[in-house]
Amino acid sequence: MEQKRPVPTSLAAFLKDGVEAAECTICKEPFDSNHVVIQIKECGHFMGKACLEKWLQQKTSEGTCPTCRGVLFTAKKGTKRSRTVPRDATTAQASSEVPLTPAQFNAYYGESENIERSNRNGFLSKLWKHVPPPASDGAAARRATAKTAIMRAFEESNFFLASNESNAEQRVLTPYVRRLQQPAASDVSCPLIQLVQTLSRLFIFCAHDFTPSDAVWRAILLFQMRSTDETAGLSWIGLREAAWTLGENRLQGFAGVDQWRWLYLFLFLMPIYRAAHLSHTPSFTIHDVRRLLQVLGVGYSTTSGDERDTNTRIFLLAAVYALERSRIDSEEGQDDRTRRLLDVHTNLAQLKADVERLWMEGLAQGGADIAIGYPEHWWTSE
């Protein structure tokens, strides 16, 4: 979770650390005598004069504000083309006849620096603004909605004005975006489609002003990058089996594969849900985990038979204990493991070890509690 900045203790401290130069919303550079700031009267947004002119002079311009997409003037008919996806040697491979794997996507967003950069003012930050709520009118409709969100985020990323680092992100994304523009092309294994579908789950319960931290983005992307069953989304069966398989593997001395990625993501989902709906409660309970699973719409069953299942009960308890021990939503008592879980730069092997150890502790405590025998009302629906 994002850490809150302490309130400056003096005027001098505030002037030193509490303010920063205003920057252009298009090129992200500060204003100066050469980079003149202007304000759009209609919507009130500020940006560089030259940057706005360049934005509106694009052949693909629709005459809209780069920030809010409000219409500024009526663009000439016939100038509107498909989204700003350049054709070059990189995009030529995106023909519908050529297989397109997630490898390029995974390699780029597997680097922490790229996640930070994209979340700051790149594609990921734009994509979050356009995340649609989960649609209930069929898979085709959900994919169509996801495509729209992807195209809008790609267009708003302003790659044509960006730095070389942002252009690297453009080169990675362009083949996938070009493929999505082809009506006959399959998008089943497109990592962008799957990413939007995962984000839509979060959209259900996040606070309206919630913005994913770098660590949350990393958890989401690591879940998307798992090596097995890449096309499957977040599900209750997957979560429960990830915890159970992790426990079985560790007890038998085997190294887990991707189970920890499921559990790392769920570890963040709990405090996100709590912040939006349960901020008044002193702790996260079994019933809170159950409500979260129900709201996520991942296939969690509340039938009496399923809720009496031992594996289900152990998972619910393990989740409560894992969150409590991780301290990722607490400003007090954070230890080295907490800081590693929240640090987007933590080595992947170390992160895997921390997540697995944390959930093993939760599973062990949950199993011990089950053995003691908690009252039945702890497990039944409220």
Q: Could you tell me the domains of the chain?
A: 1-81 (3.30.40.10), 82-224 (no CATH), 234-382 (no CATH)
Ranges 10-19, 55-64, 94-103, 372-381: which has the least confidence: 94-103
- Radius of gyration over alpha carbons of the chain, in Å? 23
CA dist 338 and 354 (Å) reads 9
Whether the pLDDT of residue 381 is over 90: the answer is no
Whether the pLDDT of residue 38 is over 90: the answer is no
- pTM summary value: 0.72
φ/ψ (deg, to 5) at 50: -65, -40
Q: Are 179 and 94 in contact (CB under 8 A)?
A: yes
Q: Are 289 and 270 in contact (CB under 8 A)?
A: yes
Amino acid, single-letter form, for residue 45 = H
Sequence-ordered list of residues with C-beta below 8 angstroms from that of 245, at least 6 positions apart, any chain? 256, 259
DSSP string, 291-334: HHHHHHTS----SHHHHT-HHHHHHHHHHHHHHHHH-TT-SSS-
What are the residues facing 71 on neighbouring strands?
64
Q: Select the more confidently predicted residue: 288 or 332.
A: 288
End-to-end CA distance of the chain: 29
Ranges 178-187, 226-235, 260-269: which has the least confidence: 226-235
Whether the pLDDT of residue 90 is over 50: the answer is no
Structure tokens at 200: 């839509």
Q: What angle do CA 146, 151, 154 make, to 5 degrees?
A: 125
CA dist 236 and 299 (Å) reads 6
CA dist 245 and 238 (Å) reads 10
pLDDT for residue 84: 43
Q: Select the more confidently predicted residue: 46 or 18.
A: 46
DSSP string, 178-234: HHHT-TTS--TT-HHHHHHHHHHHHHTTS-TT----HHHHHHHHHHHT-SSSTT---
**What share of the chain has pLDDT > 90, as a percent?**
30
Whether the pLDDT of residue 208 is over 70: the answer is yes
**pLDDT tens, residue by residue, 142-193:** 788 889 999 999 988 866 555 555 578 988 998 888 888 877 666 667 899 9
Whether the pLDDT of residue 100 is over 70: the answer is no
Q: Are 85 and 91 in contact (CB under 8 A)?
A: yes
CB atoms within 10 A of CB 286: 16
Sequence-ordered list of residues with C-beta below 8 angstroms from that of 115, at least 6 positions apart, any chain? 109, 124, 214, 217, 218, 221, 344
